[in-house]
């Protein structure tokens, strides 16, 4: 079997932003007034970087926030204003050595490559981008803080985890400026980076889920510093899109991470893939070690590898993954592993679902598979092609059931890409999301499900004609709506941005996306997920019909990949 969806990569977009921030000045010299020594005003920021003063500074941090300079328990944070009512702070949240677990930062430091507070972090190493845009020392984040916030205000923090199939992306990818979202939600918005690809998931000694542990380090860092900016360490909500949402699902399945966040928002999570199992990870790991030429125990060899050599081996591994173990697929062959230590449940239909309590919000876009299908097939496809394409991806048995169903008709269809796109959206994204919602609701958690029928074309989708058509909402087209970063938004886009930010503000504070003046969003149950329509002309019920996502079809009559492969 081959995978159906090849998710577009979020390429790092690192561009300097202007700032009027000045570097910290040193202590001025002592003067005298009428013969008596006079000490000038002390630069508290510099003092707070001296270990003997850090405890005192921590107490001051609870009361003090001066403009773009914030005194935290680990040193002075210097930010820049961007004119939107928020200050931006770039910081290293953790350090690490190659293929070792990350350690939470104990000192406030600018990201690698940043010369001053206006500098942006370099991305984590990834294929097909200019090497000057990335560094291994990449565990950095951006904090966006409303200028009106005072220390210890107790507002929520939203930690955004970017997508990119676990091999690409950055905190500075298009649309991820969190300033407007922070102001609209009266929260701190943090956008983090984590180790990607082989550097985050293929430690030669078999250590698993390093990138997931990076996310845990980021939450521990935020708990330490957000009170100084006006946040509450107990009010952290995770949010992310695509593989970023998949990372959050891994954190929901990690008991040791549970106390670090209160709720989660998962946008366009390709849940169909599931977590890798240990045997699959071991097979991939063995192949990767062979490709690098370094034995599992040969630390010297591993340290001597160039980043280019590691990325080259990673690309080859990704290409070969389906032939090594078919359960990997080709879209996200490198991904979190249910290792039994950090991640101990699949959170799917293959095993008893654990008790849960956190509120979660799950969303999809109308045409998740649009970039995949219309990007791969650039010309019209005849109806006769549906069966072979479907069988090549899902196998004969599942294809037979799909063709016999009423959900993906090909008769009287001029272009078979249309039902193929609907099929891909249901199979990889929408229906497994709805299955997760039913399980979450049935085991103690509150869950809200939605679908974007209005979006804003994400830059990587501009080359795909289908994604530019009126009414199309392709994978990633929800990102700029949520962040409020749509260039020249239409009235419909602006209205949906206002709505989503109001709903996110409510969710961050109450665990529900219902807010005054907005239509009611009903929580999902085990029998009806009540998928709320986001944007467009509301249907009579305001909800999206189940269609093929009825539990008797996907997940039962037609199994998801994670069921087929038992992962």
How far is residue 254's CA from residue 256's CA, in Å, rounded to a whole number?
6
Tokens of 15: 């561009």
As annotated, the active-site residues are 242
145 and 116 in contact (C-beta within 8 Å)? Answer: no
Q: What's 326-350 look like in SS3?
A: HHHCCCCCCCCECCCCCCCCCCCCC
89 and 221 in contact (C-beta within 8 Å)? Answer: no
- How does 146-170 read in b/e, with b if 16+ C-beta sit within 10 Å? bbebebbbebbbbbbbbbbbbbbbb
DSSP summary character for residue 122: P
How far is residue 221's CA from residue 225's CA, in Å, rounded to a whole number?
6
Taking alpha carbons only, the member of 221, 220, 223, 201 closest to residue 212 is 201
Taking alpha carbons only, the member of 434, 446, 423 closest to residue 527 is 434
What kind and span of H or E run contains 565? none
Burial label for 283, CB within 10 Å (0-12, 13-18, 19+), is middle
Taking alpha carbons only, the member of 245, 199, 205 closest to residue 482 is 245
140 and 171 in contact (C-beta within 8 Å)? Answer: yes
Taking alpha carbons only, the member of 292, 104, 95, 304 closest to residue 198 is 292
Q: Quick one: angle between helices 210-229 and 243-252, nearest 10?
A: 90
């Amino acid at each position: 079997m081959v995978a159906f969806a090849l998710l577009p990569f979020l390429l790092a977009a690192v561009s300097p932003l202007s700032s009027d921030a000045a570097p910290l000045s040193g202590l001025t010299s002592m003067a005298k007034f009428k013969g008596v020594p006079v000490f000038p005003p002390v630069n508290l920021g510099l003092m707070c970087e001296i270990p003997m003063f850090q405890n005192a500074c921590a107490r001051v941090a609870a009361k003090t926030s001066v403009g773009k300079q914030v005194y935290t328990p680990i040193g002075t944070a210097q930010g820049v204003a961007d004119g939107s009512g928020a200050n931006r702070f770039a910081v290293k949240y953790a350090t690490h050595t190659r293929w070792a677990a990350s350690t939470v930062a104990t000192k406030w430091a600018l990201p690698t490559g940043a010369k001053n507070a206006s500098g942006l972090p370099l991305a984590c190493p990834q294929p097909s981008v200019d090497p000057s845009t990335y560094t291994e020392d990449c565990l950095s984040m951006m904090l966006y803080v409303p200028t009106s916030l005072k220390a210890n205000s107790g507002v929520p923090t939203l930690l955004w985890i970017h997508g990119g199939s676990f091999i690409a992306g950055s905190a500075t990818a298009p649309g991820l400026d969190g300033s407007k979202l922070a102001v609209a939600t009266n929260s701190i918005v943090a956008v983090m980076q984590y180790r990607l690809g082989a550097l985050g998931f293929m430690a030669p000694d078999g250590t698993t889920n390093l990138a997931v542990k990076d996310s845990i380090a980021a939450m521990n860092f935020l708990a330490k510093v957000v009170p100084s900016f006006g946040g509450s360490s107990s009010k952290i909500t995770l949010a992310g899109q695509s593989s970023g949402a998949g990372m959050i699902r891994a954190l929901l399945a990690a008991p040791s991470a549970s106390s670090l966040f209160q709720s989660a928002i998962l946008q366009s999570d390709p849940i169909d893939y599931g977590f890798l199992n240990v045997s699959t990870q071991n097979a991939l790991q063995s192949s990767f070690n062979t490709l690098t030429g370094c034995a599992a125990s040969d630390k010297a060899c591993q340290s001597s590898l160039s980043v280019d050599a590691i990325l080259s081996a990673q690309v080859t591994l990704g290409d070969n993954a389906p032939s090594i173990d078919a359960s990997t697929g080709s879209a996200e062959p490198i991904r979190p592993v249910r290792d039994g230590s950090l991640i101990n449940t699949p959170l799917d239909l293959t095993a008893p679902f654990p008790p849960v309590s956190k509120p979660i919000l799950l969303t999809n876009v109308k045409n998740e598979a649009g970039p995949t299908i219309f990007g791969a097939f650039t010309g019209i496809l005849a109806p006769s092609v549906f069966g072979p394409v479907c069988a090549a991806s899902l196998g004969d048995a599942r294809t037979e059931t799909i063709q016999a169903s009423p959900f993906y008709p090909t008769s009287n269809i001029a272009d078979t890409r249309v039902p193929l796109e609907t099929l891909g959206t249901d199979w990889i994204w929408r229906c497994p999301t709805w299955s997760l919602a039913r399980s979450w609701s049935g085991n103690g958690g509150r869950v809200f499900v939605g679908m974007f029928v209005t979006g804003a074309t994400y830059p990587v989708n501009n080359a795909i004609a289908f994604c530019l058509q009126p009414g199309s909402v392709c994978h990633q087209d929800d990102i700029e709506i949520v962040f409020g970063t749509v260039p020249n938004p239409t009235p419909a886009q602006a209205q949906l941005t206002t709505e989503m930010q109001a709903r996110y503000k409510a969710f961050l504070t109450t665990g529900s996306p219902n807010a005054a003046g907005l239509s009611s969003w009903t929580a999902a149950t085990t029998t009806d997920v009540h998928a709320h329509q986001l944007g467009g002309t509301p249907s009579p019920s305001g909800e999206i019909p189940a269609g093929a996502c009825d539990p008797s079809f996907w997940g039962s009559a037609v199994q998801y990949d994670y069921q087929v492969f038992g992962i």
